[in-house]
Structure 1
Amino acid sequence: MNHWIVLPTVLPAMTAALLILALPHNLTNQRIVSVGATLLMLVLAIGLVVLSSDGTPRAYFLGNWPAPFGIVLVLDRLSAIMLLLSAALALAVTIYACAGWDTRGRHFHALMQFQLLGVNGAFLTGDLFNLFVFFEVMLIASYGLMLHGGGAVRLKAGFHYVAINLIASTLFLFGVGLIYAITGTLNMADLAGKVAAVSADNQALLKTGAMLLFAVFATKAALVPLHWWLPSAYAATSAPAAAMFMIMTKVGAYAIIRVYGLIFGADAGPLGAIVAPLVIPAALVTLAVGAVGVLASRQLRDLVCFSVIASMGNLLIAVGLFDGPGTTAALYYLIHSTLAGAALFLLVDVIAKRRGKDLDRLVPAPAIAHETLLGAMFFLAAIAMVGMPPLSGFLGKLLILDATRNAAHAPLIWTVVLGASLLMIIGYARAGSVIFWNNPKPTPDSAAPPVRSGSNRLAATALVPIIVIGLLLAGTAALSLGAGPLTAAFEATSVQLLDRAGYIRAVLTPGAGEN
């Protein structure tokens, strides 16, 4: 077995324990350890992407227990890509938080490492029960991050967030229990071979379990009508937490791809493609709701939250095709939307801090310091999120539209995607013009810090957030510049995902996934 595969879960777990037990009151050392460990995680993820690039799935059996009896982690192209994305995002968010956000509450860095543990485990696990376990680790850490810094508004939104996730966790456990009761296994590779052979008498119960799991994944992916928790939760939490939560919605999309492509895929007999008729219609409604929400928003943070919902609609349209071109488009758009959404949450935080009492409300306010720089960054982030050239959002939507050319109701899909893009363009143009255009001159009694001529230099605490946001935006530009080779890599990932036999062989045949 290749022991590198288990490190994405071991490293953040050990780091979190070190931060809590050895460095509970030393914030400087916490920052050093947290940034260092997350950077090491990024290097490790790059190595795992290289390792997985030969197209061979690799299984790691904890305790050397053979599948399906023991805990198994599986590394393939998809899980490696998701590990790299989560590590890159976590590093950006951690560095941003070191500029001051981590002083507003206790254990921010430990919570971030636990969050990374849950996310990485969800991407690697080859077992439904352990998917539930890693979901819980991820969610428990997110509760702490959600409430970090306190405040009445955050506490109220946090209560709703915790309540909906507790309900989802209960449904997850019920679904897992039903599937185990019928099949006698929760190993994904083992289930992929057994689901098709389930007797007609038990298919209704198995279908119920599968649909309960879909409800859980759809909730985490903010799929309408299970999206309502996201705007209030993400708008109320801190900017670093909201940026990190961009990967959590992707965990829901990943789970749909993995479970309903591998276990309940087209080869699953009577239960094959069980959720396929539901995903695209719900995704279209999700996209429309998100676009209307962007147009109706009265605060920048709300605008970004509804943009996230709209982006999940676009992503799940591609996921709902459950074919090679759709998965390729989904992977490209998934990475784009994660980077663009995180950049916007952090950018809105920087803008709000400089507008004094007006914060992020879409009302005219005195000009802010470094308005030209922030306006340019907002413009780039906006065109990335709404899908205008030349950034990756445009190419991602082109891939989605191209993948749906031969789909049923393709004209409807194209109409909703393009119409939603128009609404989002209007919403972002309105927001940008209010925040950055024709602002009144600052007055001596203005609560916003005045713009002082000749003061173009950024303080160190203000420079770090700007650099982080710039790097995230540069990531969307890199996606555009490297669209050719990246799309080829995503196509290879799609081919591997459709090769269910290769995944099953790596897990259930001893030595097949070793290197």
Structure 2
Amino acid sequence: MNHLIIAPIILPALTAAFLILALRGHVRSQRTVSIVATVVLLAFDIGLLVLTATEGPQVYRLGDWPVPYGIVLVLDQLSATMLVLTGALALAVVIYASAGSDRRGRLFHPLFQFQLLGINGSFLTGDIFNLFVFFEVMLIASYGLMVHGGGAGRLKAGFHYVAINLVASTMFLIAVGLIYGSTGTLNMADLAVRVQQIGSTDPGFLKAGALLLFAVFATKAALVPLHWWLPATYASTSAPAAAIFMMLTKVGAYAILRVYGMIFGADAGALALVASPYVLPAAVVTVLFGTLGVIGSRTLKAVAAFAVVASMGTLLIALGLFDNVGVAAALYYMVHSTLAGAALFLIAGMVVEGRPHTLDRLEPDMAMRAEKLVASLFFIAALAMVGLPPLSGFIGKVMILDATRGVPSWALLWTVILCTSLVLTYGLTRAGTTLFWSSAPPPDKWPEPRPKLFQPVLAVSLLVSMMVAWTLAAGPATAWLESTAHQALDRSGYVETVLGQKPIRPAKED
């Protein structure tokens, strides 16, 4: 076993504990430790990506207990890609927060590290119950980050966020109980074998558990009608918290792919593709709802939040195909939309700091400091979020359109994606012109204290640079993601990697 596999879980856990026990109340020291730890984490993530590219999927058995009885972590191309995306986003966010937003409440950096612990664990776990455990770690940390800094609006949105996630967690446990009661296992590889062996006469409880679990993942991924928590939550919290929350929806999408593309995939017998009939219709409605929300929003954070909902719908249109081409397109667009959405939230935070009277409300106000620079960053982020050329969003949407060509409803899907892209262009253009083109002349002397710009500009520039790099590397990135999609949907390969045996295909029933 390669002990490096557990580093993305152990490092944030030890860092968070050290920040609480040794540096509590020392924000500057916490910043330094948190940034260094995040850089090291990203280096580990890249190392794991190289490891899985050169040596193939890896399994880590905690305590060296035999599978499926012990806790197991599984590293493959999909989980490694998501780890690198998380680490890269986390670095930009922690740099942004070091400008001063981490001082507006207690324990930002420990909560941030615990958030990374939950996210990374969700990507690495090979067990559905431990997926629940890491979900809870991730969500508990997000509760603290959500209300960081206080305020009536933030507390109200935080209450709703906690309530919906408590319901989802309860549903998760019920689903886990139904699945375990039907199969006697929760290890994903072992579950993939046993699901296939269940005859068509006895899938009732297992199907109920599978669909209930899908509702939980759909809630995390903000699929309509389970999306309503996201706009209020993301628009009410601080900019760095909203930016790192971009990974929460991606964990939901990842779980849908892992469970319903592999365990309940095309080879799952009586329960093959059990969630497939629900993903595409819900994804289409999600795109439409998110787009309408952008048009109706009155603040830049709300615009960004509804744009994220629309992007999740677009992503899940491709992911819901559950084939190699669709999943590869979804993964390419997932990386892009995560970076673009995070950039929009961080820019919204800069607007809030630069306009103390109107904040990020879509109303004309006095020009901000470095307004041309902020406006330029907004233009690039908005261009990326809409999916216009030449950035990676355009490539991602073209890949999604190409992936849906063989679907019977391709004409509807193309119409929805193209028309909503046009409406999103209008919505983000309206927001940009109101904030940056309609502002009054700046004052002769800027009031003190002036908001810090270096770290926020650096953080957003990092995200923009990543999007540009993702665009330039579209060729090799697409080849990698096509291989990743094939591996993610390969039930036999996953089972053989984890259990060390090839699954036996059951005989067909008469």
TM over 0.5: yes
Matches within 5 A, 1:26-175: 26-54=26-54, 56-175=56-175
1:291 alignment partner in structure 2: 291
Q: Deviations over 1:211-243 (max 9, x none)?
A: 111000000000000000101111111111000
1:338 alignment partner in structure 2: 338
* Percent of aligned pairs sharing the same letter: 60
Matches within 5 A, 1:95-494: 95-442=95-442, 450=443, 461-494=452-485
Aligned residue for 2:347, secondary structure, equals helix
Aligned length: 501
CA distance in 1 between counterparts of 2:340 and 2:409 reads 29
Aligned residue for 2:4, secondary structure, equals helix
Aligned residue for 2:54, secondary structure, equals coil
CA distance in 2 between counterparts of 1:377 and 1:360 reads 15
Residues 451, 39 of structure 1: CA spacing in aligned structure 2 closer, same or farther, 3 A cutoff? farther
Kept after mapping to 2: 8 A contact 1:308/1:341: yes
1:446 alignment partner in structure 2: none
Q: CA shift at 1:199, angstroms? A: 3.7
CA distance in 1 between counterparts of 2:438 and 2:491 reads 58
CA distance in 2 between counterparts of 1:387 and 1:182 reads 44
Quick one: which amino acid aligns to residue 301 of structure 1?
K
Quick one: which amino acid aligns to residue 334 of structure 1?
M
Tell me the C-alpha RMSD between the 2 structures: 1.6
Q: CA shift at 1:356, angstroms? A: 2.3
Kept after mapping to 2: 8 A contact 1:221/1:312: yes
2:505 alignment partner in structure 1: none
Q: Deviations over 1:41-88 (max 9, x none)?
A: 000000000001136211100000011100000000000000001111
Q: CA shift at 1:510, angstroms? A: 8.2
Residues 460, 419 of structure 1: CA spacing in aligned structure 2 closer, same or farther, 3 A cutoff? closer
Q: CA shift at 1:460, angstroms? A: 9.0
TM-score (norm 1): 0.95
Aligned residue for 1:301, secondary structure, equals helix
Kept after mapping to 2: 8 A contact 1:73/1:125: yes
1:497 alignment partner in structure 2: 488
Q: Deviations over 1:232-285 (max 9, x none)?
A: 111111111000000110000000000001110010011000011110110000
Aligned residue for 2:226, secondary structure, equals coil
Q: Deviations over 1:12-58 (max 9, x none)?
A: 11111111111112222211111111110000000000001136211
CA distance in 1 between counterparts of 2:351 and 2:265 reads 45
CA distance in 1 between counterparts of 2:75 and 2:461 reads 31
Q: CA shift at 1:146, angstroms? A: 0.5
Aligned residue for 1:218, secondary structure, equals helix
Aligned residue for 1:461, secondary structure, equals coil
Kept after mapping to 2: 8 A contact 1:207/1:271: yes
1:445 alignment partner in structure 2: none
CA distance in 2 between counterparts of 1:255 and 1:405 reads 25
Quick one: which amino acid aligns to residue 503 of structure 1?
Y
Residues 463, 420 of structure 1: CA spacing in aligned structure 2 closer, same or farther, 3 A cutoff? same
Residues 235, 451 of structure 1: CA spacing in aligned structure 2 closer, same or farther, 3 A cutoff? farther
Q: CA shift at 1:451, angstroms? A: 6.2
Kept after mapping to 1: 8 A contact 2:198/2:270: no
Structure 2 residue runs of 5 or longer lacking an equivalent are 503-510
CA distance in 2 between counterparts of 1:9 and 1:441 reads 50
CA distance in 1 between counterparts of 2:159 and 2:390 reads 40
Kept after mapping to 1: 8 A contact 2:331/2:481: yes
Q: Deviations over 1:327-380 (max 9, x none)?
A: 110110000011000010000110121122111111121222211111111111
Aligned residue for 2:60, secondary structure, equals strand
Kept after mapping to 2: 8 A contact 1:174/1:209: yes
Kept after mapping to 2: 8 A contact 1:55/1:496: no
Aligned residue for 2:73, secondary structure, equals strand
Quick one: which amino acid aligns to residue 467 of structure 1?
L
Kept after mapping to 2: 8 A contact 1:55/1:77: no
Quick one: which amino acid aligns to residue 172 of structure 1?
F
CA distance in 2 between counterparts of 1:146 and 1:438 reads 32
Q: CA shift at 1:498, angstroms? A: 2.5
Kept after mapping to 2: 8 A contact 1:55/1:76: no
Q: Deviations over 1:274-315 (max 9, x none)?
A: 011110110000000011111111111110000000000010
Quick one: which amino acid aligns to residue 452 of structure 2?
T
Q: CA shift at 1:499, angstroms? A: 2.0
Residues 371, 261 of structure 1: CA spacing in aligned structure 2 closer, same or farther, 3 A cutoff? same
Kept after mapping to 1: 8 A contact 2:199/2:270: no
CA distance in 2 between counterparts of 1:459 and 1:182 reads 61
Greater shift, 351-360 or 154-163, is seen at 351-360
CA distance in 2 between counterparts of 1:6 and 1:256 reads 23
Residues 180, 30 of structure 1: CA spacing in aligned structure 2 closer, same or farther, 3 A cutoff? same
Aligned residue for 2:203, secondary structure, equals helix
TM-score (norm 2): 0.96
Aligned residue for 2:458, secondary structure, equals helix
2:508 alignment partner in structure 1: none
Q: Deviations over 1:66-117 (max 9, x none)?
A: 1110000000000000000111111111111111011111111100111000
Structure 1 residue runs of 5 or longer lacking an equivalent are 443-449
CA distance in 2 between counterparts of 1:322 and 1:116 reads 28
Quick one: which amino acid aligns to residue 462 of structure 2?
L
Aligned residue for 1:73, secondary structure, equals strand
CA distance in 2 between counterparts of 1:25 and 1:498 reads 47
Kept after mapping to 2: 8 A contact 1:369/1:451: no
CA distance in 2 between counterparts of 1:353 and 1:269 reads 56
Quick one: which amino acid aligns to residue 33 of structure 1?
V
Aligned residue for 2:139, secondary structure, equals helix
CA distance in 2 between counterparts of 1:75 and 1:219 reads 25
Aligned residue for 1:60, secondary structure, equals strand
Kept after mapping to 1: 8 A contact 2:401/2:414: yes
Quick one: which amino acid aligns to residue 325 of structure 2?
P
